[in-house]
Structure 1
Amino acid sequence: MTTLARLVVRHRWWVIAAWIVVALCGAFGASRATSALSYDFSLPGQSGYETNADITREFGSGGDNAPVLVVSKAAPGGSVDVESGSRIAAAAASAAPGARIASYTTHPELISRDRSTAVTVVYPKVVPGADPYVTSLPALQQVAKESTSATTSVAVTGVDALNAGGGGGVNVLVETIVGGVGALVVLALVFGSFLAITPLLTAAASILTTFLILWGLTSITEVSFIVQYLLALIGLGVAIDYALLIVTRWREARGNGYDGEQAVEQTLATAGRAVLFSGITVAVSLAALIALPVPFLRSIGFTGLLIPLISVVAALTLVPALLSVAGTKLEWPHRRSTSPDSRLWRRVGTVVVRHRWASTAIAVIVLAVLAIPVASLNLSSPTNASLASVGGPAGQAVDAVADAGLGSGLTTPVEIVTDSPQSIVEALRGRPGVAGVVAPTEWQRGSTHIVDAWTTVDSSTPEGGRAAADIRTVAEQHGGRVGGITAQNADFIDAVYGNIWWVLLLIVVVTFALLATALRSIVLPLKALVLNAFSLAAAFGVTVFIWQEGHGTSLLFGQDGAGAITIWIPVAVFAFLFGLSMDYEVFLLSRIKEEHDAGASTDTATIDGVARTGRLVTSAALILFLAFISLAQVPVTDVKILATALALGIILDATIVRGVLAPALVAALGPANWWVPKWWPGRATRQLQTESRTAS
């Protein structure tokens, strides 16, 4: 690190110029990168996905694309007109050329028993991009408007119409700016000087550089649209984390009498090593997603690998260069002490160390209570009720379908490809949990037919999911191939969570090796892994409590609880929170070890470590929290759930886990923290250093 520091300081203007050039190229490539992102959730080799791909290829619609429902509802005491159903079907065919349509005029399953509510099912042809029905959905909404009469109201609903009801929201650039403003406020409070802009400049350079690499990556492989949110906001948080640590230690070195190049060398010799190992640990945890057999998660893994590595490079080169050029000028007006010591966190550390076992017990109990809801985790898509709760005609229409007894599962039917549709219809019709089955003669290509069956209750609920699985079983027993959203979701769960233990093992082994090397201890890495498990369980539990069970979602987000946690969110949250929380663990333990190596007892080193990293960790966590709050403004329920899990996970980790439980356990374990086996490299040297300190 000393060599790197001298090299950066010697060529500081070249370093700054290189980052400016790369960042400008990244600014040019950012919009091109985002426009090249994929909205495909492919699962190669899984039967549900392959069936959906065949349906879309043969018919141009359906498969994992939910239908649009044109809902006719008669005035109180009236009934829907059969002739109007024919007119709606004809108008829908004209508005969405090539669409598959099933009308209630020919399929009694689509009209309620009291004839007050009826549905025309439309599968428009899909177009690539974020919105597969970008032209057809507005056209069908116009058909509904023109079909409304004094006696019958007509409205469009379905998964896409319900999601569109969430409103416009903000884009990635706006979210990043909002997160950046929040970060600037926090940094200004931390430094009390213009040094606050240094981490922000570093974050901007890191994010733009990563977008530049992402642009190149999109030309090689498909990259999911989700990464644009994670790259911008995770990048903002991680880059600021590392730059914040470097700048804080640089100010401390200046306060200890180091000047110019010496201050930079001292900073990289201490904080630089922590940043390097922390960044590698985060990168490894995110890169583990590459091992999963799901292209969409692999792309998140590739991007997640880039974010921390680029941030580390920026923190170890751009930040020292900026500090050597303008650091002393940026210290104005210097309203903060150069010492990283926090009186508040010193008091916290002292209390925790003094009452180590009580602190451990209280923290574990709190985390265990928060984790309890995980036991009821339901992996699926947000329910109709949740999507409908944001209001609008689409929400009212989907409620009307459910109230009329037509089956809430109609928004996500099971699509069955078969050569003998009649046998499947007969096998499914009247089966418990099945609301209806249709097999329009028009849904045929050669000898291939499509049969749609849907559940009585919402397929996103546990009961609805079991009914959809039963439909799949029966259809496959009769020679059918099953697709649709529910089948693909089930395949995703099998493919990802059936193989997740490989990913967990990989992350645990590599993380342990990295931390053991960085901390030169066997016990501390084991403790860190256990604490991460507690932290993640609590984060998942609170997310289930809020989003699946619906506690507080109306107040916080203006909609009902999702009734489920979207299937891909737990694995993504695990990868990101595991890596990010390891940042804080490395910051804390590195400082504790540094103090211990300098001769302090374990108790004193723990208190000093907490006092000198507490403000840093909480500030970094607050910045990430604000970034995720910004992400929660995206009008997509899935992204809101992800942002909630990440925001709560970061706060819980930085306070209860790293502020209380981690130091309490270090103090409780005492000398055992520093134990290493006899064969451990450098053990003899460490033992001599320990004996020397003891003798002195």
Structure 2
Amino acid sequence: MASQSTVRSQTPPQAAPPAPPKGLAALGRWLAKRRLAVLLVTMVALIVAVPFGSDVESRLSEGGITVPASESARADELLNNRFEGGSPHLVFIAAAGRSIDSPDVGADATALTDRLAKEPGVVQAASYWTLDKPPTLRSKDGRTGLIMVRLAGDEDEVRKAAARIVPDVVGEQGALKVTATGVTAVRMAIEKRSEEDLTRAELLSGPLVLIILLLVFGSVVAASTPLAVGILAVIGSFVVLRLLDMVVQVSVFSVNITTALGLGLAIDYSLFIVTRYREELARGRTVHEAVGESVRTAGRTVLFSALTVALSLSAMLVFPMYHLRSFAYSGIAVVVLAALGSVIVLPALLAVLGHRVDALDVRRLFRRGRRATAARTDTEGFWHKLAMAVMRRPLPFALTVAAVLVALGLPFLRAEFGDSDDRVLPASSPAYQGAQVLREEFDNREGSPLNVVLPDIDPAASAGKVAEYAEQLSTVPGITRVDALTGSYSEGARIAPPGPASERFKADKGTWLSVVSDTEPYSERGMDLVETLRAEPAPDTVLVGGQAALLVDSKATLGDKLPWALGIIALSTTVLLFLFTGSLLIPVKAIVLNLLSLTATFGAMVYVFQDGHLRWLVGDFTVTGMLDIDTPILMFCVAFGLSMDYEVFLLSRIKEEYHRTGDNVSAVAWGLERTGRLVTAAAALVATVLLAFATSSLTPLKLLGVGLALAVIVDATLVRGILVPAFMRLAGRANWWAPRPLARLHRKIGLDD
């Protein structure tokens, strides 16, 4: 009996059955079980989406740079609705090859001007020949004259009318050879170039991305899965933009960032999911188990990362210009779709592929035999050794890299901001060439005057006051001529009496003045001129509009709203990273290091694109001495989001290891080892997609691509490889500290598994 009792006591108790998966792990297994249904639904959705979203560019708006309710916007609205006048949208340059005062030239030019005036959508057409031959509309050599056309409607209606009129006018017109420029002609050329350059960038980056994926995975099948998710994300975003356009105005230029960001993020997210899936298979898990575990771990990180990127992009919603808001719409849409595609469609696809995910291993072409395709994460590789080297001397490494980044960012202190004009186009563009003719052959900026609106004055009873005001404005330095209801003025004197063209300044209530200067509108001097006119004593309420006034109002609005945008990014980053890690120090570290990583990018913007250095490296462009005012904001939001993307992936592995061992140094080293290769590959993929924009002939697209690619490369190398290990080594256990109340809060609502 004793012997039997002993035997029974040594028998191990029966193991409890494993707990059923829950949360994201359960979702992953559910997707694996219903993999064919998930893929079938995806294919049906894709078939519907392709025709619906394929023409999205033709439906989106081209404008959106105006600040609603600003002084320049109200002035332009009054000019459109009450006077049907204002600055010309199109400027036709009519070259005769001989004196434009020749009778036959005058007859052809007058006929063309009259024909334009009768075109649908044209509210005003005037020329050198119909305005009593003012010298400012004649070139210095007397062989070229100007025809100026104002179109009716909003930005989209103006663009449609211009697209119909310009092709019929450009070319030989009797004795004249006509070319087109002006604000609308330039914007149409920019839009057309943007579409062409985007297509070329996609064709260039696609094969390069596939090559990098093959180098990372070694398998054609594994490398193809991220591309599939990227295509789904981009097509889905086009559908979202088309749907949004039915509710709000969406800028056509948002499509540029949609393609690059969608493809880059979808590949990033898929890269982490597929890598984790292959690791789980290598550990001996079944296909369904590997899918579930991949969704639970990498999928959770992907969702959290997508949330941080989306919140960074949402900061652009505080700006009232729908041009910037559209980038937020498209960016958030593509981030959400990339994440959903990675955690829903991709797991179903992996469940179908099973172990065949490593099929068509191209490395067999270069190696003897076949090696295991799963990346080994239990050996001290390059990234582990780098982290340990940095953490042995954290302070010198941190100070050296920080000093280099700050030094690279110093040029941004002298940044000057303007708006995109003809000079962002390549020199071969007819709109650019026409604008250069205006600069070189004409003394004034006839195509971009300032519009001074007196909305409340009685023009009939106050003609004397209007004349005095026009004389006063004509004495302002930089003003060459003022046209008003009472005639034309220069240097304080009337130089021409009122004529037929003066009728454009008349309405039942109010009047306006056209103020022509010798100043480039998108320049510091042009903006100073706006402020001077707004400060001049006036007989009644005054609204100053025009291109330069639009830039002044845009700068003021962006300056007012920028602190709110930065606050949204800082607050959302702090809250989300606290929920993710339970730490107060890590969110602060993330913000500081992300800002530091952007210094080199913003310094390069000024050094290369404002000052004109290294043009041989990024491709030729026209140096204007300023940066497009919207681009730094767009780049900051996108680059900060991408930096947070890599931060989250690294932190997820560091936190996983720290919870397992409690050793801060070991956790950082192994976290970097297990993500360093992937983050580097992801950064290389995103940088490849973005650098394809450098082939663009448009300066803003070139700047956007080069700047964001540089930000991604710096962040994935210097910041993640050196600054993060150095900082976390210096902070030690304080990395994971939080006050007791917050620690209890994190245990309740934190984003732990």
Q: TM (normalized to structure 2)?
A: 0.82
Q: 1:517 to 1:300 in 2, by over 3 A?
A: same
When the two chains are superposed, the root-mean-square deviation of aligned CA atoms in Å is 3.1
Distance across 1 between alignment mates of 2:536 and 2:60: 38
Q: 1:475 to 1:492 in 2, by over 3 A?
A: farther
Distance across 2 between alignment mates of 1:456 and 1:179: 44
Distance across 2 between alignment mates of 1:395 and 1:35: 23
Q: 1:383 to 1:221 in 2, by over 3 A?
A: closer
One-letter amino acid of the structure 1 residue matched with residue 471 of structure 2 = E
Match of 1:499 among 533, 537, 561: 561
Q: 1:302 to 1:392 in 2, by over 3 A?
A: closer
Q: Does 1:242 align with 2:269?
A: yes
The CA deviation at 1:81 is 3.2
Distance across 1 between alignment mates of 2:81 and 2:596: 46
Residues 417-456 of structure 1 aligned to structure 2 (within 5 Å):
417-418=453-454, 419=459, 422-439=467-484, 440-447=501-508, 448-456=510-518
One-letter amino acid of the structure 1 residue matched with residue 451 of structure 2 = E
Deviates more, 1:621-630 or 1:79-88: 79-88
Match of 1:133 among 142, 146, 162: 162
Partner of 2:516, secondary structure, is strand
Which 5+ residue runs of structure 2 have no aligned equivalent?
A: 1-23, 364-371, 485-500, 749-753
Q: 1:443-471: per-residue Cα shift (whole Å, max 9, x none)? A: 23435544322332322222232123323
Q: Does 1:616 align with 2:698?
A: no
Contact 2:427 2:433 in 1 (8 A): no
The CA deviation at 1:278 is 0.5
> In structure 2, what is the equivalent of residue 52 of structure 1?
76
Residues 305-320 of structure 1 aligned to structure 2 (within 5 Å):
305-320=332-347
Distance across 2 between alignment mates of 1:570 and 1:273: 31
Distance across 2 between alignment mates of 1:121 and 1:479: 31
> In structure 1, what is the equivalent of residue 411 of structure 2?
373
Partner of 2:742, secondary structure, is coil
Q: 1:546-605: per-residue Cα shift (whole Å, max 9, x none)? A: 222222346533322243222222222222112111101111122122222221632222
Q: Does 1:187 align with 2:213?
A: yes
The CA deviation at 1:648 is 2.4
Q: Does 1:460 align with 2:522?
A: yes
- Give the length in aligned residue pairs: 675
Distance across 1 between alignment mates of 2:539 and 2:579: 55
Contact 1:163 1:636 in 2 (8 A): no
Partner of 2:622, secondary structure, is coil
Distance across 1 between alignment mates of 2:300 and 2:621: 45
Contact 1:144 1:156 in 2 (8 A): no
Q: Does 1:586 align with 2:648?
A: yes
Deviates more, 1:164-173 or 1:436-445: 164-173
> In structure 1, what is the equivalent of residue 545 of structure 2?
483
One-letter amino acid of the structure 2 residue matched with residue 38 of structure 1 = S
Residues 602-613 of structure 1 aligned to structure 2 (within 5 Å):
602-613=664-675
Q: 1:683 to 1:416 in 2, by over 3 A?
A: closer
Deviates more, 1:572-581 or 1:203-212: 203-212
Q: Does 1:11 align with 2:34?
A: yes
Match of 1:88 among 109, 114, 121: 109
Distance across 2 between alignment mates of 1:306 and 1:271: 21
The CA deviation at 1:329 is 0.8
One-letter amino acid of the structure 1 residue matched with residue 248 of structure 2 = T
Distance across 2 between alignment mates of 1:653 and 1:502: 25
Contact 1:453 1:471 in 2 (8 A): no
The CA deviation at 1:257 is 2.7
Distance across 1 between alignment mates of 2:94 and 2:541: 32
One-letter amino acid of the structure 2 residue matched with residue 610 of structure 1 = L
Q: 1:59-91: per-residue Cα shift (whole Å, max 9, x none)? A: 65655x64415265878xxx7537646753542
The CA deviation at 1:161 is 4.6
The CA deviation at 1:279 is 0.7
The CA deviation at 1:415 is 2.0
Match of 1:642 among 691, 695, 704: 704
Q: 1:509-541: per-residue Cα shift (whole Å, max 9, x none)? A: 112111111122111111001112222333222
Q: 1:269 to 1:608 in 2, by over 3 A?
A: same
Distance across 2 between alignment mates of 1:571 and 1:81: 50
> In structure 1, what is the equivalent of residue 223 of structure 2?
196
Partner of 1:223, secondary structure, is coil
Distance across 1 between alignment mates of 2:96 and 2:602: 40
Distance across 2 between alignment mates of 1:411 and 1:554: 33
The CA deviation at 1:311 is 1.6
The CA deviation at 1:196 is 0.4
The CA deviation at 1:13 is 1.6
Distance across 2 between alignment mates of 1:618 and 1:599: 26
Q: 1:168-215: per-residue Cα shift (whole Å, max 9, x none)? A: 562656644543333212111100002001111111222222322332
> In structure 2, what is the equivalent of residue 354 of structure 1?
392
> In structure 1, what is the equivalent of residue 171 of structure 2?
142
Partner of 1:120, secondary structure, is strand
Contact 1:260 1:324 in 2 (8 A): yes
Partner of 1:438, secondary structure, is strand
> In structure 1, what is the equivalent of residue 618 of structure 2?
556
Q: Does 1:415 align with 2:438?
A: no
Q: TM (normalized to structure 1)?
A: 0.88
Q: 1:15-57: per-residue Cα shift (whole Å, max 9, x none)? A: 2222222222221211243332122314322121122133234
Distance across 2 between alignment mates of 1:239 and 1:353: 33
Q: 1:280-337: per-residue Cα shift (whole Å, max 9, x none)? A: 1111111222233333333332332222222221111112111121041120244464
Distance across 1 between alignment mates of 2:571 and 2:357: 42
Distance across 1 between alignment mates of 2:614 and 2:642: 26
One-letter amino acid of the structure 1 residue matched with residue 589 of structure 2 = K
Q: 1:651 to 1:160 in 2, by over 3 A?
A: farther
> In structure 2, what is the equivalent of residue 100 of structure 1?
124
Residues 557-572 of structure 1 aligned to structure 2 (within 5 Å):
557-572=619-634
Contact 1:25 1:212 in 2 (8 A): no
One-letter amino acid of the structure 1 residue matched with residue 278 of structure 2 = R
Q: 1:82 to 1:352 in 2, by over 3 A?
A: farther
Deviates more, 1:50-59 or 1:387-396: 387-396
The CA deviation at 1:682 is 5.2
Q: Does 1:598 align with 2:660?
A: yes
Which 5+ residue runs of structure 1 have no aligned equivalent?
A: 149-153, 687-696
Partner of 1:208, secondary structure, is helix
Contact 2:137 2:442 in 1 (8 A): no
Q: 1:327-379: per-residue Cα shift (whole Å, max 9, x none)? A: 41120244464125594434433333333222211221221122112212222
Q: 1:259 to 1:477 in 2, by over 3 A?
A: farther
> In structure 1, what is the equivalent of residue 146 of structure 2?
120
> In structure 2, what is the equivalent of residue 689 of structure 1?
none
Q: 1:537 to 1:564 in 2, by over 3 A?
A: same
One-letter amino acid of the structure 1 residue matched with residue 543 of structure 2 = R
Contact 2:318 2:561 in 1 (8 A): no
Partner of 2:226, secondary structure, is helix
> In structure 2, what is the equivalent of residue 215 of structure 1?
242
Identical columns (%): 29
Contact 1:170 1:633 in 2 (8 A): no
The CA deviation at 1:245 is 0.7
Q: 1:612-656: per-residue Cα shift (whole Å, max 9, x none)? A: 212211221222222223344555433333333322222222222
Deviates more, 1:497-506 or 1:194-203: 497-506
One-letter amino acid of the structure 2 residue matched with residue 368 of structure 1 = V
- Flag the structure with larger Rg: 2
Match of 1:625 among 687, 691, 705: 687
Q: 1:107 to 1:190 in 2, by over 3 A?
A: same
